[in-house]
């Protein structure tokens, strides 16, 4: 089997989820006797291809064109379709980034193929590859298989594999081969303009050691004061899952998850957060996770060290009082 991994960079800087997907490819290769080709796409990105050549890969493909300098779905799809047509991989893997979500389904469709996106793992079952992904906001997992002929397309969720397990090349270097692609400016219908960050005084939780986070369970903006009091008693930062910020109850800059901040505090206390995938990817690196939720089946309990199945409105004041008491001792 031939695996092609499409890596991601922006302005010459890696998206680190690329390395996690390479690890996934190495693990699949170990069970299914496959060779791995890694692909770098962009313009003036040869140094990145040279860096990948040091990893345990059969080959690195370098796809460069000035029209690929900035990402566009049209440019990437046209270029990658040409590479896939010529290199004929069986399995094409991507990191499940926002950019991949934007073009990979279209690339697969342009070849008449489907894509299994946002996978958290794989299994080999009597020669058949099974991809595991979450459904119903993480409340269930699903085993998914491809039907029909290769190539098959799949993406892996950020954090599903550990980038530090990426194996180095056993003897030296994998060959780097440049692949030329034909693109014209008229092929590209959308025009990317400037990149920017919204908030100047953005709250930075990356160094926070204690975080109290609220989710839908907080029910109404007037209830946030209770969570604030608890955070204060603990000396913690107050954060939230996306729906709370979408409602405007807390500013967007306090959002934890795939579209917000990724944090790894000593303690993460999740109040009324169900544990949807998009939130969990932003906080599962926390050393200790506490979940308080009235639904005993909430997926947040799958990753929690300590759990209390209860109404947060009963626990919040009790916990605040307990913390104040233990502080004054």
Partner 1 sequence: MNILVCIKQVPAKDAPLTIAGNWIKESDIGFEMNEPDSYALEEALRLKEKHGGEVIALSLGPERVKQTIKEALAKGADRGIHIADDNFAQLDPLGTARVIAAAIAKENVDLVLTGLQSDDHGFGQTGVLLAALLNLPHATLIMQIDVQGPTMKLKRELEAGWFQWIECPLPAVLTIQSGINKVRYATLKGIMAAKKKEIAAATRESLGVTFEPTQKIEKIYIPTKTKKTEFLTGTPKEAAAKLVEKLRFEARVL
Q: Per CB under 8 A, does 89 bind partner 1? A: no
Query: 155 near 94, Cβ under 8 Å?
Result: yes
Q: Does 289 bind partner 1 (CB under 8 A)?
A: yes
Place of tokens 């910020």: 245
Does 222 bind partner 1 (CB under 8 A)? Our answer is: no
User: Nearer to partner 1 by C-beta: 39 or 119?
Assistant: 119
Strand partners, 153: 92, 115
Q: Which is nearer to partner 1, 33 or 326 (CB)?
A: 326
Return the axis-axis angle of helices 224-234 and 312-328, rounded to nearest 10°: 30
Stretch that binds partner 1, among 43-51, 83-91, 219-227, 319-327 (CB under 8 A): 319-327
Residue 232 found at the interface with partner 1 (CB under 8 A): no
**What's the CA gap between 161 and 164, in Å, rounded?**
9
Report whether 320 contacts 233 (CB < 8 A).
yes
Rule CB under 8 A: is residue 301 a binding residue for partner 1? yes
Can you state the angle between helices 98-110 and 73-87, rounded to 10 degrees?
50
Taking the complex as a whole, the smallest distance from the CB of residue 184 to partner 1 amounts, in Å, to 15
- 132-137 CB contacts, 8 Å cutoff, 24+ apart: 134/277, 137/274, 137/276, 137/277, 137/299
Q: Are 107 and 72 in contact (CB under 8 A)?
A: no
DSSP 151: P
The residue among 37 and 274 lying less far from partner 1, judged by its C-beta, is 274
Q: How far is the CB of 82 from partner 1 (least distance, A)?
A: 16
Query: Smallest gap, in angstroms, from Cβ of residue 306 to partner 1?
Result: 5
Nearest in space to 20 (alpha carbons), one of 117, 94, 108: 94
User: 50 or 102, CB closer to partner 1?
Assistant: 102
Give every strand in the sheet of 59-64, ordered side by side: 128-135, 115-125, 152-156, 91-95, 2-6, 35-42, 59-64, 176-179
Binding residues for partner 1 restricted to 161-200, rule: CB under 8 A: 189-199
By CB under 8 A, is residue 137 in contact with partner 1?
yes
CB of 176 to partner 1, least distance (A): 27
In the range 24-83, which residues lie near partner 1 by CB under 8 A? 73-74
Q: Which range of residues in 22-30, 42-50, 54-62, 132-140 is near partner 1 by CB under 8 A?
A: 132-140
Give the x-and-dash track for 234-273 against partner 1 (CB under 8 A).
x-------xx-xx-x---xx----xxxxx---xx------
């Amino acid at each position: 089997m031939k695996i092609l991994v499409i890596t991601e960079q922006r302005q010459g800087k890696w998206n680190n989820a690329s390395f996690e997907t390479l690890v996934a490819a190495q693990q699949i290769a170990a069970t299914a006797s496959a060779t791995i080709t890694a692909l770098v796409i962009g313009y003036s990105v040869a140094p990145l291809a040279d860096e990948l050549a040091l990893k345990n890969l059969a080959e690195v493909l370098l796809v460069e064109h000035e029209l690929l300098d900035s990402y566009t779905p049209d440019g990437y799809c046209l270029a990658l379709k040409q590479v896939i047509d010529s290199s004929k991989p069986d399995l094409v893997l991507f990191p499940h980034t926002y950019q991949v979500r934007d073009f990979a389904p279209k690339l697969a469709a342009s070849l008449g193929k489907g894509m299994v996106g946002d996978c958290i793992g794989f299994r080999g079952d009597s020669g058949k590859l099974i991809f595991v992904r979450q459904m119903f906001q993480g409340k269930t997992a699903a085993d998914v298989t491809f039907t029909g002929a290769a190539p098959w397309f799949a993406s892996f969720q950020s954090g599903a594999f550990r980038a530090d397990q990426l194996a180095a090349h056993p003897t030296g270097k994998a060959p780097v081969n440049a692949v030329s692609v034909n693109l014209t400016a008229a092929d590209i219908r959308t025009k990317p303009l400037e990149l920017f960050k919204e908030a100047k005084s953005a709250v930075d939780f990356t160094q926070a050691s204690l975080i109290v986070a609220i989710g839908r369970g907080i029910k109404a903006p007037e209830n946030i004061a209770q969570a604030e009091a608890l955070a204060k008693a603990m000396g913690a930062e107050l954060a939230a899952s996306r729906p709370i910020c979408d409602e405007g109850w807390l500013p967007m800059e306090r959002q934890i998850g795939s579209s917000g901040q990724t944090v790894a505090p000593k303690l993460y206390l999740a109040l009324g957060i169900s544990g949807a995938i998009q939130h969990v990817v932003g906080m599962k690196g926390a050393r200790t996770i506490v979940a308080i939720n009235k639904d005993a089946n909430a997926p947040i309990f799958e990753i929690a060290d300590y759990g209390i199945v209860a109404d947060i409105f009963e626990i919040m004041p009790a916990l605040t009082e307990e913390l104040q008491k233990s502080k004054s001792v």
